[in-house]
């Protein structure tokens, strides 16, 4: 029998909730009232959230922000959130920082692989087939990426005029629906919109790592050169779209799996082409914004203990690619959401306890950094009360993606009960976190991936809605 089948019965699980022997009527007593199972399990198709998810006001996500302190990130001063190479130096000091040197050593030693060996006694490390699968899954990531202005090398995006017509015209709501359906057709999972105003503009980086500033100007077209990158003020919206990591493989992978980036890279080209051919600006914002903050502001996910990875109430930490495009297409902004995730993370700590590199915070939300060294260097974004990644330690492995309690699929009724319960009361949060691993939803033996029924094209069907 597979080792990830639970030894905890569903009756014991319900007894842990104090609900054994009762029906859904008793469950409803600790949550907002629902009338039938369709309402209880209502999927967030397009823009309708399940009953337990609340929408908040614009610019008011579940993470507390002091907009008077929050500043645009200076990318020349820190290694904040960067996927720095193993030979990188700390630009602020001109030499290899001790914490960064330690990270390089840990990465070279393969601590993430050692972690899997310790967790599964029969696992001997990545085999040739593991290495071949990981390499093949990232093959298309070698294709050219759209530039800041949305240009794709070797590809001519036709304009409406070249087709003998004018740009697409629709209401903001119709345009959002149009982008959502098109993006999901290309392979995106969620599509949300953040309006650019005086507050949300602070989520854009001050400059690139080379020092060239990102400036907003009253111009008609975006531009980029060595001196600056220019975003037209008329481009008032950021479209965020998410792409799933391989929902099954990410829990078995012994080391980073980049299939989500590979898939997202393809979708990125598709969506830029689509928006350009519709007659609108499509500025690539992946290098001038942070995904976590835009996700929280647009309502695609919430800030969580995983810190660098925003957490979705429906897909947990399985959004690997979080694309951002700035556009002048009139769009209806979407609101931040509250599904209880920020509160659940206070007691859960599953991602932190399972991080091989000890790069996840264990403490409470705070305005500064939990790491004294990163606090001394101010190597973080100030102005919000939340959790911050230990940047010097994190090699960007996949463990926090695969271990999140919210990763459970959407086919089983129990997942909807758990999500609905935790959204309104914290009483059972610790119990839910413990049962997550007991029921086999956490990390799994990499060797077992090759012997069980693998979902077609990376994604389990319970995540595709």
Q: Indicate if the pLDDT at residue 145 is higher than 50.
A: yes
The tens digit of pLDDT for each residue in 176-186 reads: 999 999 999 89
Name the strand (E) or helix (H) holding 243: strand 237-244
Does some domain include residue 338? yes
Q: How far apart are CA 273 and CA 92, in angstroms?
A: 38
Residue 32, phi-psi category: left (phi > 0), alpha (psi -120 to 50), beta (remainder): beta
Does some domain include residue 352? yes
**What per-residue confidence (pLDDT) applies to 435?**
56
Does some domain include residue 13? no
Q: How far apart are CA 332 and CA 55, in angstroms?
A: 15
- Yes or no: say if 31 and 306 are a contact pair by the CB < 8 Å rule: no
Q: Indicate if the pLDDT at residue 4 is higher than 70.
A: no
Q: Indicate if the pLDDT at residue 29 is higher than 70.
A: no
Classified as helix, coil or strand, 129 is: helix
Q: How far apart are CA 272 and CA 299, in angstroms?
A: 22
316 backbone dihedrals φ, ψ, rounded to 5°: 60, -130
**What per-residue confidence (pLDDT) applies to 404?**
86
CA 356 from chain centre, in angstroms, equals 20
Classified as helix, coil or strand, 297 is: helix
Residue 20 tokens, joined: 């054994």
Please give the residue that has the higher pLDDT: either 87 or 141: 141
Does some domain include residue 246? yes
Q: How far apart are CA 326 and CA 236, in angstroms?
A: 7
Which residue's entry shows tokens 């840990």? Answer: 106
Proportion of the chain above pLDDT 70, given as a percent = 69
- Greatest CA separation found in the chain? 68
261 backbone dihedrals φ, ψ, rounded to 5°: -70, -40
Rg (CA), the chain: 22
Q: How far apart are CA 73 and CA 88, in angstroms?
A: 19
Q: Indicate if the pLDDT at residue 434 is higher than 90.
A: no
Q: How far apart are CA 141 and CA 138, in angstroms?
A: 5
Q: How far apart are CA 61 and CA 337, in angstroms?
A: 7
- Yes or no: say if 245 and 312 are a contact pair by the CB < 8 Å rule: no
- Measured CA angle at 349 (ends 367, 354), to 5 deg: 120
Please give the residue that has the higher pLDDT: either 205 or 418: 205
**What per-residue confidence (pLDDT) applies to 90?**
39
- Measured CA angle at 239 (ends 171, 139), to 5 deg: 135
Q: How far apart are CA 420 and CA 340, in angstroms?
A: 9
Residue 39 tokens, joined: 């309402």
Q: Indicate if the pLDDT at residue 199 is higher than 60.
A: yes
Mean pLDDT of the chain: 78
Confidence of residue 45 (pLDDT cuts 50, 70, 90): very low
Angle between helices 98-109 and 111-119 (to 10 degrees): 50
Residue 429 tokens, joined: 């949060």
Please give the residue that has the higher pLDDT: either 140 or 297: 297
Among 122-136, 278-292, 435-449, top mean pLDDT goes to 278-292
Name the strand (E) or helix (H) holding 341: helix 341-348
Does some domain include residue 453? no
Does some domain include residue 283? yes
Confidence of residue 425 (pLDDT cuts 50, 70, 90): low
Q: What's the whole-number mean pLDDT along residues 33-42?
A: 42
Name, in order, each residue with C-beta under 8 angstroms of 387's C-beta and a sequence gap of 6 or more: 303, 304, 305, 306, 307, 345, 360, 361, 365, 370
Please give the residue that has the higher pLDDT: either 249 or 323: 323
Does some domain include residue 325? yes
User: Which of the residue ranges 274-278, 317-321, 454-458 would you say has the lowest mean pLDDT?
Assistant: 454-458
- Yes or no: say if 51 and 291 are a contact pair by the CB < 8 Å rule: no
Residue 283 forms beta bridges with which residues?
Answer: 326
Residue 251 tokens, joined: 């829990």
**What per-residue confidence (pLDDT) applies to 420?**
57
Name, in order, each residue with C-beta under 8 angstroms of 266's C-beta and a sequence gap of 6 or more: 140, 143, 186, 187
Residue 71 tokens, joined: 């500043």
161: domain range?
A: 54-407
Classified as helix, coil or strand, 154 is: coil
- Yes or no: say if 407 and 317 are a contact pair by the CB < 8 Å rule: yes
What is the number of structural domains in the chain? 1
**What per-residue confidence (pLDDT) applies to 133?**
72
Does some domain include residue 357? yes
Residue 303 tokens, joined: 């800030």
Name the strand (E) or helix (H) holding 326: strand 319-327
Beta strands in 40-155 (DSSP E): 54-55, 64-65
Whether the pTM exceeds 0.85: the reply is no
What is the DSSP-derived secondary structure letter of residue 231? E
């Amino acid at each position: 029998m597979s080792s990830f089948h639970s030894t905890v019965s569903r009756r014991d699980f319900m007894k842990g909730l104090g609900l054994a022997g009762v029906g859904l009527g008793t469950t409803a007593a600790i949550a907002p009232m629902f009338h039938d199972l369709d309402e209880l399990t209502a999927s967030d198709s397009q823009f309708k959230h399940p009953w337990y998810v609340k929408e908040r006001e614009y610019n008011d996500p579940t993470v507390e922000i002091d907009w008077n302190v929050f500043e645009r990130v200076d990318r020349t001063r820190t290694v904040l959130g960067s996927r720095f190479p193993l030979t990188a130096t700390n630009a602020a000091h001109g030499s290899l920082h001790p914490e960064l040197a330690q990270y390089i050593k840990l990465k070279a030693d393969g601590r993430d692989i050692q972690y899997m060996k310790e967790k599964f006694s029969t696992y001997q490390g990545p085999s040739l087939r593991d290495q071949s699968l990981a390499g093949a899954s990232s093959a298309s990531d070698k294709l050219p990426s759209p530039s800041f202005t949305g240009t794709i090398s070797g590809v001519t995006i036709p304009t409406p005029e070249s087709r003998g017509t004018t740009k697409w015209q629709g209401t903001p709501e119709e345009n959002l629906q149009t982008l959502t359906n098109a993006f999901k057709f290309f392979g995106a999972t969620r599509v949300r919109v953040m309006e650019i105003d005086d507050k949300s503009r602070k989520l854009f980086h001050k400059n690139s790592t080379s020092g060239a500033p990102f400036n907003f100007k009253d111009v008609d077209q975006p531009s980029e050169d060595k001196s600056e990158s220019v975003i037209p003020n008329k481009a008032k919206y950021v479209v965020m779209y998410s792409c799933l990591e391989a929902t099954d493989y990410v829990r078995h992978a012994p080391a980073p799996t980049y299939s989500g980036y590979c898939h997202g890279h393809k979708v990125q080209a598709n969506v830029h082409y689509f928006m350009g051919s519709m007659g609108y600006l499509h500025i690539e914002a992946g290098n001038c914004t942070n995904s976590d903050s835009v996700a929280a502001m647009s309502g695609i996910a919430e800030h969580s203990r995983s810190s660098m990875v925003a957490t979705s109430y429906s897909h947990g930490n399985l959004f690997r690619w979080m694309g951002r495009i700035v556009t002048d297409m009139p769009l209806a902004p979407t609101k931040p959401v509250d599904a209880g995730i920020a509160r659940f993370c206070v007691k859960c700590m599953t991602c932190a306890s399972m991080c091989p590199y000890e790069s996840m915070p264990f403490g409470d939300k705070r305005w500064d950094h939990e790491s004294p060294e990163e606090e001394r260097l101010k190597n973080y974004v100030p102005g919000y009360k939340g959790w911050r990644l230990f940047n010097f330690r994190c090699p960007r492995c996949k463990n926090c993606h695969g271990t999140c309690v919210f990763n459970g699929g959407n086919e089983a009724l129990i997942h909807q009960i758990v999500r609905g319960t935790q959204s309104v009361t914290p009483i059972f949060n610790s119990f839910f976190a413990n049962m997550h691993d007991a029921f086999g939803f956490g990390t799994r033996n990499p060797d077992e991936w090759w012997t069980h029924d693998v979902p077609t094209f990376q994604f389990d069907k319970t995540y595709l809605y």
